[in-house]
Amino acid sequence: MARLRFSGGALILEGVVIKNIPPCTGELLTIRSLKVVPSLRIAGGRPSLALLELNGGTVELNQDSAKEWNITPLLLRLKNRPGGSKNFIQLLSLRETSLKINGHAIPSMEITIRNLATGGSRDATWRIGFTSVQ
């Protein structure tokens, strides 16, 4: 992480990089800026964020020669975490985000999800958009 600052009740992280877990190499996720705004209300007794905004992110998903995805070790670690609590995000926003899968890129995606809960939500809504490449 290159920079950490506070602005108007938000925590802003700039230059965030998440590396792949060995044996995978390289970067799984890079983010130009990540803005986190906690919620003043507790949603059903679980931690809550009013806003989680990622700007300028790139997610790189790759398979190795054994056809294992580079994200699998991270997902297994998160799944096997003891005592994981449910979380709620009022607004998740991804702007200028790119997804690369085995070297093929989907550039400039915009994704907005409202009322996202890790345990599921019946009133979640989402919107996704792409910038056309000429």
Query: Is it the case that residue 134 has pLDDT exceeding 60?
Result: no
Q: Is the pTM of this model over 0.85?
A: no
List helix spans (H) across 1-134.
72-79
- Look at residues 50, 128, 45, 132 and name the one whose alpha carbon lies nearest to residue 92: 50
CA distance to 37, 43, 58, 80, 87, per residue, from 47 (Å): 12, 7, 26, 19, 5
Q: Using one digit for the tens of pLDDT, what is the confidence trace for 10-24?
A: 999 999 999 988 878
112 has which bridge partners?
93, 127
Range of lowest pLDDT (30-39, 56-65, 89-98, 111-120): 111-120
Domain limits, the chain = 3-130
Q: What is the CA radius of gyration of the chain?
A: 16
Q: What per-residue confidence (pLDDT) applies to 72?
A: 86
Q: Using one digit for the tens of pLDDT, what is the confidence trace for 57-90?
A: 999 999 888 888 888 887 777 776 666 567 788 9
Q: What per-residue confidence (pLDDT) applies to 39?
A: 86
